[in-house]
Homo-oligomer: A and B are copies of this chain.
Amino acid sequence: MTIEDLRQAQARIRPHIRRTPVLTSTLLDRETGARLFFKCENFQKVGAFKSRGACNAVFSLTDAEAKPGVATHSSGNHAAALARAAALRGIAAHIVMPQNSPKPKQAAVAGYGGRIVLCEPTLAARERTCESVMAATGATLIHPYNDERIIAGQGTAAIELLEEVPDLDIVIAPVGGGGLLSGTALAVKALRPGARVLGAEPAQADDAAESMQAGRIVSKPANTIADGLRTMLGDRTFAILKDNVDGIATVSEEGIVSAMRRLWEIMKIVVEPSGAVPFGVVREHPDLFAGKRVGIILSGGNVDLDALPWMSR
């Protein structure tokens, strides 16, 4: 994959997504000792960057491929994004979701006209259920991250960020399955080769950090509030991360919640736990960022307002 794939994605999805703002805060700059530029994908359509990849994948299909619809398994935001993209193209979306996925995310999928198929909350159950749905319908699988069309779409957020703030020293994005981070890395290494690209993940779901160290994809139990980052890497995303990412840094669970709350309080924006993970990393590793111009991808803003993490702590 090259920057050309991302450029094509950018042109393809432009009518269907929002160009999100880049926000700054003098107070958070002072608190962190860095100059922070927040790319607000929480304001993206369906409330997450996932709209980018989903639109790119759906609008890449030929008419014949598109006709039977699309299918996927997802912990949430990709599901809503794919349902919306399919509706825009006028085709069906079959969405396999774990039973324990947050209610607002299920409601969002249904609201966009997606057909939800619930399954056990394991990767194996998701994949098995998805395969039987595809067999029954002829739908095309749009994997949440291990798909070049998805990776190219997700990378367009970093392109926009660099268009607005070209002289960044570091770009940091959360890493779960690696779709956003691999797309981000492809964009940054092409457009701003001198900048470092960092992944951010929960310390209690640090499979990406271990995978990078081991040189192979590691799977391990994930126990984190950042529900979007509980997945493991795919072979396509891992191959890109190996060559293009400068490091993965982790943050504690307390650090995620406190970063999320600080963003709400000071920036006045609603960010979901997964979206707050990079800012949490910046706060827990100030030495990595001091004096730098740091682009932070705030990946999404879909939360259950009845179950905010600081309520129960």
Copies in the complex: 2
In whole angstroms, how far apart are the Cα atoms of A40 and B21 in the complex? 13
A50 within 8 A of B: no
Residue of B nearest to A45 (CB): B26
| Interface of chain A residues 23 through 54 with chain B (CB within 8 A) | 23, 42-43, 47
The answer to whether B261 touches A43, judged by C-beta atoms less than 8 angstroms apart, is no
A163 within 8 A of B: no
In whole angstroms, how far apart are the Cα atoms of A66 and B267 in the complex? 31
Residue of B nearest to A306 (CB): B310
Flag A256-290 by CB within 8 Å of B: 1 or 0 each. Answer: 00000100110111110000000000000000000
A301 within 8 A of B: yes
Residue of B nearest to A46 (CB): B27
Q: A306 — which chain B residues lie within 8 A by C-beta?
A: 310-311
Nearest CB on B from A85, distance (A): 15
A305 within 8 A of B: yes
Residues of A near any B CB (own CB < 8 A): 21, 23, 42-43, 47, 104, 261, 264-265, 267-271, 301, 305-306, 308, 310-311
A-B contact list, 25 entries, CB within 8 Å: A21-B21, A23-B43, A42-B268, A43-B267, A43-B268, A47-B268, A104-B265, A261-B305, A264-B270, A264-B305, A265-B270, A265-B305, A268-B269, A268-B270, A268-B271, A268-B301, A269-B269, A269-B270, A270-B270, A305-B308, A305-B310, A306-B310, A306-B311, A308-B308, A311-B311
